[in-house]
Chains A and B, each alone.
Chain A
Amino acid sequence: MIHSLFLINNAGDIFLEKHWKSVISRSVCDYFFEAQEKAMEPDNVPPVIRTPHHYLINIYRDKIFFVSVIQTEVPPLFVIEFLHRVAEMFQDYFGDCSEVAIKDNVVIVYELLEEMLDNGFPLATESNILKELIKPPTILRSMVNSITGSSNVGETLPTGQLSTVPWRRAGVKYTNNEAYFDVVEEIDAILDKSGTTVFAEIQGVIDACVKLSGMPDLTLSFMNPRLLDDVSFHPCVRFKRWESERVLSFIPPDGNFRLMSYHVNAQNLVAIPVYVRQNISFFESGSSGRLDITLGPKQTMGKTVECVVVTVHMPKVVLNANLTATQGNYTYDPVTKILVWDIGKLNQQKLPNLKGSLSLQSGAPKPEENPSLNIDLKIQQLAISGLKVNRLDMYGEKYKPFKGVKYVTKVFR
């Protein structure tokens, strides 16, 4: 199982180490540094590194390498999932998962790591349970603690640990009982020059923020559950009921959690919310080119398209761009050759247009390929797949909760 963990920053300093079995010398990280050097970029460091006596399995999150040391055959995904859980827990406890935050809270970090693994076996990884065992730091609490001498470690057995709903703590109490669900969809699509979809998929998640007292048993149903054929659920979701009735039935964890994620990749179901007319041409003679891009809304079901940003990776020979935008601002970075056009809201009446000339390196051959365009955008109040929540029912508790569902569609790369 997981033997040791080293946290390493971008500069190659090991700023924290934790061993769950015998102590392994930090020199084992030399193999990691070797791989890091080879990879050039931190993102490209291979996740599994073999050394003569150990395996190093690592993830790169928030500019920190989480490097775990493995001695026996352990499923690598198991380790990677766990490391992500550690990073999330830091984020959850300290507000951000940075070297500074970890160093400032080093004892809590150590206590947390000790609680999360025993002998390399995961022990408590649910945020609900950990927070009962080790209270997150707050300014108020550290003040109160220092006055009253009380501690930030729970004295009783976390109730969730052994119940059949290990993700929920007992005795939750709120004055305002509320449950919010965010349906967030991201489109990933590739269109060719003529605007035909080459590839499109929707990656959706339902994130929940549930603040309900007691042990509420919720049922969430959809208008069109058939859209969802490729799903993965939070452990709280009763899979049997989903299989038979296509409803999500669950006792929720307390607080924020990801209820489910899904994937829609049937091409015909993916509607692209905008269209682009673009013409980028380079002249054979002379060192110039023309650029003309127009964007328009399409299939937005009456919702406004916001935060529209067009990014173009220009060929190396493009020295500068002299353009006019009817809406928004554009910048061209001659070093990275990236043209960014920040449009903002998409106007239905007056379509935004960017037009003008490009100056090229003189004497260089005319670029062969047309540059590709990246478009980022966001649509509030719309799940582009058409997924709609029908109703949310609560059983097991008497009070009336406040319920809300929000939809967002994003296109970001």
Chain B
Amino acid sequence: MRSISEIFAPLSYWVSAAGISLNTDIFEINLINLILVLSILFYYGKGVLISLLENRERTISNTIRDAEERYTEATEKLHKARIRLQHAEIKADEIRISGLAQMDKERQDLVDAADNDLNGSEDSKNNAIRFEKQRAIEQVRQQVSRLASQRALESLNSCMTNQLHMQLIDYHIGMLRSMSNK
């Protein structure tokens, strides 16, 4: 900072024209008091001011540091939670897939069982049908043979005379005799 006289030296012509002048006498007297006052002020005030300002600075840096720590903690927790979420999702998928597979398998089992039942009942049906068919055939055969023998008997009865009958019996006795002779 320049001294006072240097400020006014180049302007001295202007200054003296305006009537302003530099006072050097009272300069001494009051300046001593002023310097005393200023030194006392600085001596006591500096300590207080510096402690205040240091406090403030420390509080601010502490707050900032705390905030940053909490921020890193929070991001870490978020990261961990995300990883856990991924694991949980994978497990959920697995469970879902196995559940679906089980569902399919059971459905398949039911279908197979139903098929088997169906086949079994079809077999028994076929058997029953065949049995009935055979019975019907048997019946028809019996009917046909009865009818045939009936008709034979009728025809025999219709054209049989006593003489013809005696000839037939003789023929059969002769055949039987020849057979027993062999």
Q: Do A and B come from one complex?
A: no
A: residues with CB less than 8 A from B are none
B: residues with CB less than 8 A from A are none
